[in-house]
């Protein structure tokens, strides 16, 4: 096989560019420890509904700011990663309840099962996330989720001056939901809703690693009577509720 001078120069140029660019790419990559999820962790949340004030929406507000979740002014199409749900006993017996609802990051997530492109996936540490670049907007996950935790972006999101750059810009036509503030977890932090509840509310949200027996959430889950939503579905949700 013979190669002409132009081919040799082209290949050489490409090789040189590759050699030069590769370290650069490595330099801009985030440190491995911060982004690599560990399969030894299992994030979970415990919500004490006795501590949840019906008039308090600090968790919702914090989530909107942290994750740039816009409000379009249309209740039917607004995006909600977390919402407050009011419960009133149908038979009138017993107290009303108020509690936050969000993605339950199930162990057996139906959204992941039905997603045709694997855009919905389970990360090593059990977080159920969406690859926004792979979602085709078929909405089957929204049909399958029993917690109504997902929203489709129906309209072009408005520009915001206070955009949190750690959260990717959302695109119209894809489905999204709560990530347990994955960007904060990867930096060793807590979800914004939990932090807000602790600072502005009564601290009714507890978050942590249930694989760590010494974590506060592990110990509390052993001490108190808690339940999950629709346990009959066998999804093994990781958001636990106390007081209902």
Partner 1 sequence: MLSEFSAIQGRSSGYWKLVALSSGVFLLGLGAFLAIEVRGHGITGMNNQVVWGLPHVFAITLLVMASGALNLGSMSTVFATIQFKQFTRFSAFLSIVLLIGGLTVLLLDLGRPDRMLLPMLYMNFRSMFTWNVFLYSGFMILCLLYLWSMFEYKQFTKVVGSTAFAWRVILTTGTGSIFGVIHARDVFYSAITGPMFVAVSLTSGTALSTLLLVGTYQQTKRHLDDKLVFGLRNALIFFTLLVGYLFVVEKFTKFYSPAFYEVETWLLTGPWAWLYWLGVWGGCVIFPLVILFHKRLGNTVKGVFIASIITVVGAFAFVGHNLLAGQAYPFDMFPGYQLSSVFLDGQDAHYLPSVVELVLGLGGIGLSALLFLLGIRFFRLLPAKAVPPPGWELPWSP
Instruction: Give me the helix-helix angle, 58-66 and 192-199, nearest 10°.
Output: 140
CB of 33 to partner 1, least distance (A): 28
The C-alpha atoms of residue 176 and residue 115 are separated, in whole angstroms, by 13
Residue (175 or 182) nearer to partner 1, CB? 175
Q: How far is CA 58 from the centre of its chain?
A: 18
Q: Find out whether 30 and 37 touch, Cβ atoms under 8 Å.
A: no
CB of 63 to partner 1, least distance (A): 13
The C-alpha atoms of residue 69 and residue 2 are separated, in whole angstroms, by 59
Interacting residues toward partner 1 by CB under 8 A: 72, 74-80, 83-91, 97, 101, 110, 113-119, 134-140, 142-148, 150-156, 171-175, 229-230, 233, 244
Residue (102 or 210) nearer to partner 1, CB? 102
In terms of DSSP bridges, do strands 43-48 and 239-242 run parallel, antiparallel, or are they unpaired? Answer: parallel
Q: Is 43 exposed, middle or buried (0-12, 13-18, 19+ CB in 10 A)?
A: buried
Q: Find out whether 171 and 132 touch, Cβ atoms under 8 Å.
A: yes
Residue (78 or 186) nearer to partner 1, CB? 78
CB of 240 to partner 1, least distance (A): 14
Residue (147 or 180) nearer to partner 1, CB? 147
CB of 138 to partner 1, least distance (A): 6
Residue (33 or 232) nearer to partner 1, CB? 232
Residue (51 or 146) nearer to partner 1, CB? 146
Query: Which residue, among 115, 110, 90, 86, has the nearest Cα to 98 in the 3D structure?
Result: 86
Residue (133 or 222) nearer to partner 1, CB? 133
CB of 80 to partner 1, least distance (A): 5
Q: Find out whether 147 and 229 touch, Cβ atoms under 8 Å.
A: yes
CB of 119 to partner 1, least distance (A): 8
Q: Three-state SS for 176? A: strand
CB of 17 to partner 1, least distance (A): 27
């Amino acid at each position: 096989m013979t190669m002409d001078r132009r081919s040799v120069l082209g290949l050489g140029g490409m090789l040189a560019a590759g050699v030069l660019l590769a370290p650069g790419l490595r330099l801009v990559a985030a440190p491995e420890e911060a982004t690599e999820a560990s399969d030894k962790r299992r994030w979970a949340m415990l919500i004490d509904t006795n501590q949840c004030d019906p008039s308090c929406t600090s968790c919702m507000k914090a989530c909107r700011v942290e994750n740039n979740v816009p409000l379009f002014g249309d209740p039917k199409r607004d995006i909600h990663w977390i919402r407050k749900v009011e419960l009133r006993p149908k038979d009138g017996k017993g107290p009303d309840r108020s509690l936050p609802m969000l993605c339950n990051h199930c162990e057996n997530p139906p959204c992941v099962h039905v997603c045709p492109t694997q855009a919905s996936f389970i990360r090593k540490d059990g977080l159920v996330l969406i690859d926004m670049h792979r979602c085709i907007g078929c909405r089957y996950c929204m049909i399958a989720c029993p917690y109504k935790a997902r929203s489709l972006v129906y309209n072009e999101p408005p520009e915001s001056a206070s955009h949190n750059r750690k959260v990717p810009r959302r695109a119209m036509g894809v489905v999204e939901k709560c990530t347990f503030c994955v960007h904060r977890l990867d930096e060793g932090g807590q979800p914004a809703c939990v932090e807000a509840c602790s600072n502005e509310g009564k601290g009714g949200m507890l978050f942590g690693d249930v694989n760590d027996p010494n974590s506060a959430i592990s110990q509390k889950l052993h001490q108190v009577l808690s339940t999950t939503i629709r346990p009959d579905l066998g999804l093994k949700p990781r958001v636990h509720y106390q007081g209902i």
